[in-house]
């Protein structure tokens, strides 16, 4: 039976994420890499709206490439296939998260699309079913179905919820450095010497679970892509130095980059660091770390 779509417009937020810690444990037989990472969402977000329509169509502002390649359209078509339906939707996407920057914008858009169209089309698929579909769209996509803070293992699809960091602020800078095939290239630059056992990430995850993580724990966490990122992204070192000059307590790559961030415990301090970066000509963003979407 064809699902009966709801006759209303739905709106959704698709939040960005940062990686508080990221380790690669090794390469899997299926060609993917085994990872351990702690992810956290921010209130920096793309905005989407979904309205009933006869066919699927997407309006993206600003445009970011062919619609059929957009993860929003791919998520919608995957949901149609899984549910055996041909319902349409008029989707409007306003991009605020920088593209291909290590902040998960595309995966977050895909997850928001699965959640929203599941409701708009009256499909009533379970969260587990949506997570399985999300895993086909991107390693980070299952995390974005709820967001907040989580330990991600496997390819990124095995998630353990953690206590979100309340009252913490991120200063994020996404350098305008384009690198075609970025993620594959950076994984390809890793050597076995870069692999680890995931214990540092799990230790941070346990502290977050018990809500005992301190500033030094966050500052001491690492990202396996730091070494190769500085080689892959021309000029990235200068952006790191700008953070130090602005008084950031530390600076870290998010995902496979090139976005950089620091964390502080007050909006005032975040604003001060961001203002200094802006005076130096850098488009820094201040964002609050957020709770899961279900909260």
57 within some domain: yes
2 within some domain: no
Domain count, the chain: 2
Owning domain of residue 185 = 169-288
Whether pLDDT at 66 is above 80: no
Place of tokens 């319902």: 87
Tens of pLDDT, residues 78-120: 999 999 999 999 999 999 999 999 999 999 999 999 999 999 9
Predicted confidence at residue 32, as pLDDT, reads 87
**Residue 182 catalytic?**
no
Whether pLDDT at 4 is above 70: no
Inter-residue contact 254 to 261 (CB < 8 Å): yes
Read off the pLDDT band of 6 (50, 70, 90): low
Whether pLDDT at 7 is above 70: no
Q: What is the CATH number of the domain that holds 109?
A: 3.30.230.10
Read off the pLDDT band of 68 (50, 70, 90): confident
135 & 238 share domain: no
Catalytic residue among 30, 140, 197, 207: 140
3 within some domain: no
**Residue 197 catalytic?**
no
Strands 252-253 and 260-264: antiparallel
Q: What is the CATH number of the domain that holds 239?
A: 3.30.70.890
Residue 262 in tokens:
């620091």
Catalytic residue among 17, 46, 109, 182: 17
Whether pLDDT at 2 is above 90: no
Tens of pLDDT, residues 227-254: 999 999 999 999 999 999 999 999 999 9
Taking the whole predicted model, whether its pTM rises above 0.85 is answered as yes
Predicted confidence at residue 294, as pLDDT, reads 62
Among 147, 162, 177, residue at a domain's last position = 162
Predicted confidence at residue 162, as pLDDT, reads 97
153 & 201 share domain: no
E strands, the chain, are: 10-27, 33-53, 56-61, 88-94, 149-154, 158-162, 169-173, 252-253, 260-264, 285-288
Among 162, 177, 199, residue at a domain's last position = 162
CA gyration radius, the chain:
19
Tens of pLDDT, residues 175-224: 999 898 999 999 999 999 999 999 999 999 999 999 999 999 999 999 99
Give Cα 265 distance to the centre of its chain: 21
Predicted confidence at residue 295, as pLDDT, reads 42
156 & 176 share domain: no
20 & 158 share domain: yes
223 & 158 share domain: no
Predicted confidence at residue 1, as pLDDT, reads 39
């Amino acid at each position: 039976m064809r699902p009966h779509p709801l006759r209303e417009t739905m709106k959704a937020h698709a939040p960005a994420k940062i990686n508080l810690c990221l380790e690669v444990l090794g390469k899997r037989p299926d060609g993917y890499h085994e990872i351990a990472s702690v992810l956290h969402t921010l209130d920096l977000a793309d905005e989407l709206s979904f309205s009933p329509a006869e066919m699927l169509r997407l309006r993206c502002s600003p445009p970011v490439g062919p619609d059929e390649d957009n993860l929003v359209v791919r998520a919608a078509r995957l949901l149609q296939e899984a549910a055996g339906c041909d319902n349409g939707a008029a989707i409007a996407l306003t991009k605020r998260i920088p593209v291909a920057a290590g902040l998960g914008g595309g995966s977050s858009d895909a997850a928001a699309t699965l959640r929203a169209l599941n409701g708009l089309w009256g499909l009533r698929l379970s969260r587990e079913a949506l997570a399985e579909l999300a895993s086909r769209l991107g390693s980070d996509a299952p995390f974005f179905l709820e967001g907040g803070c989580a330990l991600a293992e496997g390819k990124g699809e095995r998630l353990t919820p953690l206590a979100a960091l309340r009252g913490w602020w991120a200063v994020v800078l996404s350098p305008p450095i384009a690198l075609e095939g970025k993620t594959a290239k950076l994984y390809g630059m890793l050597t076995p010497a870069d692999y680890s056992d995931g214990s540092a990430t799990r230790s941070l995850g346990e502290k977050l679970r018990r809500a005992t993580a301190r500033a030094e724990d966050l500052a001491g966490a690492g990202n396996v892509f730091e070494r190769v990122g500085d080689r892959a992204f021309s000029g990235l070192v200068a952006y790191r130095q700008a953070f130090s000059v602005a008084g950031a307590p530390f600076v870290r790559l998010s995902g496979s980059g090139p976005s950089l961030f620091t964390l502080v415990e007050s909006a005032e301090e975040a604003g001060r660091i961001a203002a200094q970066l802006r005076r130096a000509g850098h488009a820094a963003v201040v964002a609050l770390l957020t709770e899961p979407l279900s909260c």
